[in-house]
Amino acid sequence: MSAYAAATHDPVIVRADAAEHLPEIGHILLADASASKGALSAHRIQLARGADGALPHRHNGSSELFFIIDGALDLLIESEIVTARSGDLLIVPPRSDHAFRTHPNNTADALILITPGIERFDYLRHVARIRRGEASRDSILHEQDRYDTHFVHSSIW
C-alpha cells in the first residue's frame, strides 16, 4: 500500500463573496498553491454559451481535475474530444495535452483543481488582461515555465 504525505497546512476557507472574479474569462479564483503549501490550486469556471475556455496546453508536473457542477464542457484530451456533463469528473494526468470550452448550446460551471498545486492566479489574471486587450497574446508565451502551462498544437481543436 502506498501512502502520500502532503505538506501540512492550515485549513483553507474561501468565502464566496471574498473570491476574486475574472469576468473576462469566466474564472473565480479560490485558492492558489500558496494557500495549501503546494497541495493544490483551485478555481471555478462559469462559462457562457459558446465560450472558449483554454487553448490546448499541458502541465508537466501536475494533474488537473475538472468537476462539472452544471452544464457541459468539451474537453480535448490528447487526440480525443470528450463531453463532460453535470456531475462528471475528469482528471487529466501530467504531460497530457488538453483544452476546454463549452459544449455547443450549453453553459458550463466547473470546479478545477490542480495538484500538486502551482501558483496559477497571476497566470489567469494575465489571460484576463489579454482578453481585455491590455497585453498581447504573445506575452503569455514567456510565462509558460513559470506557470507550468505549456501551449501545444492540436489539429482537432
| Superfamily grouping for domain 18-118 | Jelly Rolls (2.60.120.10)
Cβ-proximal residues to 13 (8 Å cutoff; 6+ apart), any chain? none
Cβ-proximal residues to 3 (8 Å cutoff; 6+ apart), any chain? none
Q: Could you give the CA distance from residue 103 to residue 71 in angstroms, rounded to a whole number?
A: 8
The answer, yes or no, to whether residue 141 has pLDDT greater than 50, is: yes
Position 7 scores a pLDDT of: 57
Q: What is the pTM of this model?
A: 0.92
For the record, the C-alpha cell of 156 comes out as 482537432
State mean pLDDT over 134-156.
95
The answer, yes or no, to whether residue 117 has pLDDT greater than 50, is: yes
pLDDT, tens digit, 9 for 90 and up, residues 63-90: 999 999 999 999 999 999 999 999 999 9
pLDDT, tens digit, 9 for 90 and up, residues 4-28: 455 587 899 999 999 999 999 999 9
Position 8 scores a pLDDT of: 80
Cβ-proximal residues to 107 (8 Å cutoff; 6+ apart), any chain? 46, 47, 48, 49, 51, 70, 71
Position 66 scores a pLDDT of: 98
**Cβ neighbours of 13 (radius 10 Å):** 8
Print burial letters for 123-136: b (CB count within 10 Å at least 16), e (below 16).
bbbbbbbbbeeeee
